[in-house]
Amino acid sequence: MLLGWHYMEYYNHAYAMNQYLASRGYVVLAVNYRSGIGYGLKFREAPAQGAAGASEFNDVLGAGLYLRGRPDVDPARIGLWGGSYGGYLTALGLARASDLFAAGVDLHGVHDWNEGIRNFIPDYHPTPEQERLAFESSPNAWLDTWRSPVLLIHGDDDRNVFFSQTVRLTEALRARKVHVEDLVFPDEIHDFLRNASWLAAYHAAVGFFDRELKAAP
């Protein structure tokens, strides 16, 4: 995340969402996790990122631990939200660290890297070790430790992250008695085309956090 209005519309929207959350009394930390921008090629192409080990999860975890230690943050009410890659890390954070992250909003995130990679590389033929590592780097590998409630938001015509990933995650979490809410936009793509979809998604996200975090004991 850039410190300000991004030149790309998608991240511009995310910055506006963070400002809206802050205006409603939330303490907001936008994480420029490894594989992000502004720190050179070694940071951008950090070792063991994504399907090769999810090393950027360490930055999300570190951010949560930092927030937990602040005097102006209730350690029992820390949430996660993000879209696309941020949605992936939101799901991974809830799956691996439900004791730290009390709730999350995942917009069209990847939940299984072995499927997500094939969406961009149709001839993806991993070795057994690569396939194992990709799965272990995915939220779907950690469902048994996922306890925190989540709002999943997705357009059903998403060509970047197939809508079926959200459908399967919803079913798997509900089978484990995890509270899941869904918001589905018919005929929407990955980067929502309609401004009304963005507004509906972000209002739903804030409403979810108000219920799950502000109302938490």
User: Roughly what angle, to the nearest 10 degrees, separates helices 113-120 and 128-136?
Assistant: 110
Domain membership of residue 207 (yes or no) is yes
Rounded Cα–Cα distance for residues 152 and 99 (Å): 20
Domain membership of residue 6 (yes or no) is no
Amino acid letter at 183?
A: L
What residue has token string 């999860």? Answer: 57
Rounded Cα–Cα distance for residues 173 and 149 (Å): 9
What's the mean pLDDT in 153-165?
Answer: 97
Q: Which structural domain, as residue segments, surrounds residue 101?
A: 79-214
Which tokens belong to 18? 């963070």
CATH of the domain at 165: 3.40.50.1820
The model's confidence at residue 214, banded by pLDDT at 50, 70 and 90, is: confident
The model's confidence at residue 6, banded by pLDDT at 50, 70 and 90, is: confident
Report the domain count for the chain: 1
Domain membership of residue 52 (yes or no) is no
Domain membership of residue 19 (yes or no) is no
Amino acid letter at 202?
A: Y
Domain membership of residue 57 (yes or no) is no
Q: What is the DSSP string of 16-27?
A: HHHHHHHHTT--
The pLDDT tens digits of the residues spanning 111-158 come to 999 999 988 888 889 999 999 999 999 999 999 999 999 999 999 999
What residue has token string 């590998």? Answer: 141
Which H helix or E strand runs over 9? helix 9-23
The model's confidence at residue 165, banded by pLDDT at 50, 70 and 90, is: very high
Neighbours of 2 (CB within 10 A): 15
Name the nearest CA neighbour of 85 among 61, 106, 64, 55.
106
Name the nearest CA neighbour of 3 among 53, 37, 26.
37
pTM of the model: 0.94
* % the chain with pLDDT above 70: 98
The model's confidence at residue 215, banded by pLDDT at 50, 70 and 90, is: low
Rounded Cα–Cα distance for residues 147 and 212 (Å): 13
Domain membership of residue 34 (yes or no) is no
What's the mean pLDDT in 85-94?
Answer: 97
The pLDDT tens digits of the residues spanning 34-67 come to 988 888 999 999 999 999 999 999 999 999 999 9
